[in-house]
Structure 1
Amino acid sequence: ASAVKDSKTNRLIIKIVNKDPKAKTVTVNLKDFKQATADVKLIRLQSDNLREQNTLDNPDAVKPEEKELELVGNTFDYTALGQSFSILVIQLTNEKTSAKGKQPGLTEKDSTVTVYTIGDSTVKNGDGSGSNGQWGWGAFLADFLNDDVKVVNHARGGRSSRTYIEEGLWDNVQSRLKPGDYVLLQFGHNDGGPFNTGRARATLKGNGEESQDFVMIERPNKDTVTIHTYGWYIRQYIKDAKAKGAIPVVVSLIPRNDWKEGKVIRNNESYALWAKQAAAQENAMFIDLHNLVCDKYDAMGQAFVAPYYFGDHTHTTKAGAQVNAYLVSQALKSLPCSLAGSVK
């Protein structure tokens, strides 16, 4: 990796070459530039052969892939795909305080509407680069929205509706919300299992107000945690988002790669149902992605869907994630919100 500062544009340009066939993660530290927050523009030129390059005879040999990475704090991790050449362009600022009060930083215009997606690995798999062949639908939602909308994918693999809050991930998203932003939330795949052992991420089944205290017996301090129902956590997200002036949209979980007699096994008596109920109780908008995807899969058939759209029992391939993102975008069109007009 190498870095150079362009004094004319006040940009830091970082070039990263990964000759290894496997993806590698590097840590980028901007401590010398005292950058607290910024948008990082990534231009990635990927080829199976690093010697391949654009020429006059073949100007499109390697096409750049552009996307936005979010930088908060002066350190962030970047995953360089195998045999790839990446360029990170970071806009630096000499301002002592940004418009949002961060020091120093680059901020988006106040008129920009941001859609935050939160959930598990079916929304964002790993670091979101698809380096393991698996993708979440949050990675492709922006492809179906107009340029006046920014999608920021804060989903985290392995999290349940409970642990996304317990680990402070939701607090991090809340701190960024501004009035008029949207929060699309999808949980459920990881809300089963043990409450206080192993991954300790389960929620109580149902949509009620009941709770139960559990001693985290495998933690060093053996602290006690109050665990609520799945529906309770969904309602909490809705309340918190509304308190920030943001607009929550509850999304029911995508189906797993489970089939019976050629049809997808549906989850309409548990998490998909509870998500719908929780949204209705808090007067929040709801996208029934679970049944939208099931209907789509049933129409195409198991023989096509199972090997092409799924990488395993749960996680989707790029094609599968793109279909799910498209269905989310089309569902947004029917909702009574401003975002409906920003769908392509």
Structure 2
Amino acid sequence: MIARLLPHAGRGWLYATALFALMSLASAQGIARPKLKIDDIPRETQAGEGPGRYVPPVPARKNLPTLWLIGDSTVRNGSKGDNGPEGQWGWGAPITAYFDLKKINVVNRALGGTSSRSFYHDRWEDVRKRIKEGDIVMMQFGANDHGGAKGKGALDGVGNETEMNGDEEVHSFGWYLRRYVEDTRTQGGKPVVCSLTPRKSWAADGRFRRGGGHAEWAWQAAKETNAAFVPLNEIIARRYEKLRERKVDALYVPSPAETLHTGWDGAVVNAECVIAGLKALDEDPLADFYSKRAGAIRAWKQR
């Protein structure tokens, strides 16, 4: 419309300027083009074959290294890993597209409703025994780590204190993360700790509220074990502050009431934040396995 008001000779400049602005915006947000679609994600990376409500996926090519993802519904949503009833998606599905599956397997073993504690007791052993030399295990917990010993979550903090829940000895959030890290290394794998995705919440000054305790405790556990750490909570919060509240509302499903689970577009944003965080590591264990799409994502820069 504006172009019609300009002399014909000036239209090329206008289009070039507009295109540059759009490219700059995409680059600033780390958006990979063309737009990622649900059908672009191989089902074998999210769910296995067989009867039952939940069939865990396994590596498609045994001769390749594997990226194992463990966590809760913000990493993998739906019993079949194909989203929940509200169209909610975890970032563990779209992140598959940022890796070259001819070089590495991606296996999303995250499961909705789990905490660092419940996953450790119910799901971890089957993952642990499959980890081989050269594999990477990326973990993100915290959304369900509440309720203390009598609930299903871990104790607060990173210490070695324990409480009993019947016959079960319950440990701190940091303790469980350290065990994942140590077990991964014992199997010859490389651990990567991510802080949890933030719940949607805005402060009066327009800042997006961070994750607080569990985000901090994930960092402390990674530091104590000298494990790679992706400050995902902070990276996502900063991305959301650039997008502003109206656009961020649309990333959560159902919008605007939902505060934890994203839809597909939100999962893609969060997956790109994970890639940006990985690229910012001093030693990125996944640097040799990125796909062409990942090339559009720049390393996150801490202020």
Instruction: Give TM-score, length-normalised by structure 1.
Output: 0.66
Q: Report the equivalent of 1:333.
A: 279
Distance in 1 of aligned mates of 2:141 and 2:156: 13
Q: Report the equivalent of 1:263.
A: 207
Q: Report the equivalent of 2:11.
A: none
Contact 2:149 2:164 in 1 (8 A): no
Q: Report the equivalent of 2:35.
A: none
| Letter matched to residue 166 of structure 1 | H
Contact 2:148 2:156 in 1 (8 A): no
**1:242-270 deviation digits (Å, cap 9, x = unpaired):** 000011000000000122223221124x1
Distance in 1 of aligned mates of 2:171 and 2:59: 39
Q: Report the equivalent of 2:10.
A: none
Deviation at residue 284 of structure 1 after TM alignment = 0.5
Q: Report the equivalent of 1:210.
A: 161
Q: Report the equivalent of 2:107.
A: 152
Q: Report the equivalent of 1:240.
A: 183
Q: Report the equivalent of 1:52.
A: none
Query: What percentage of residue pairs aligned between the two structures are identical?
Result: 37
Distance in 2 of aligned mates of 1:141 and 1:134: 15
Q: Report the equivalent of 1:130.
A: 83
| Letter matched to residue 276 of structure 2 | Q
SS at match of 2:242: helix
SS at match of 2:286: helix
CA-based RMSD: 2.5
Structure 1 alignment gaps of length 5 or more: 1-62, 80-104, 216-223
Q: Report which of the two has the higher share of strand.
A: 1
Distance in 2 of aligned mates of 1:259 and 1:203: 27
Q: Report the equivalent of 2:220.
A: 277
SS at match of 2:153: coil
Contact 2:178 2:221 in 1 (8 A): yes
Deviation at residue 212 of structure 1 after TM alignment = 1.3
Q: Max radius of gyration: which structure?
A: 1
Deviation at residue 302 of structure 1 after TM alignment = 1.1
Worse overlay, 147-156 or 290-299: 147-156
Deviation at residue 313 of structure 1 after TM alignment = 1.7
Structure 1 pair 64/135, CA: closer, same or farther in 2 (3 Å)?
A: closer
Contact 2:136 2:192 in 1 (8 A): yes
1:182 to 115, 120, 136: 136
Structure 1 pair 76/267, CA: closer, same or farther in 2 (3 Å)?
A: same
Q: Report the equivalent of 2:197.
A: 254
Deviation at residue 64 of structure 1 after TM alignment = 6.9
Q: Report the equivalent of 2:249.
A: 306
Contact 1:145 1:329 in 2 (8 A): no
Structure 1 pair 247/65, CA: closer, same or farther in 2 (3 Å)?
A: closer
SS at match of 1:263: coil
| Letter matched to residue 331 of structure 1 | G
Structure 1 pair 297/240, CA: closer, same or farther in 2 (3 Å)?
A: same
Q: Report which of the two has the higher share of helix.
A: 2
**1:290-311 deviation digits (Å, cap 9, x = unpaired):** 0000000011111210233443
Contact 2:41 2:93 in 1 (8 A): no
Contact 2:45 2:106 in 1 (8 A): no
Q: Which has the higher contact order (CA 8 A, sep 6+)?
A: 2
| Letter matched to residue 246 of structure 1 | G
Instruction: Give TM-score, length-normalised by structure 2.
Output: 0.74
Distance in 2 of aligned mates of 1:179 and 1:315: 33
SS at match of 2:251: helix
Structure 2 alignment gaps of length 5 or more: 1-37, 295-303
Equivalenced residues, count: 243
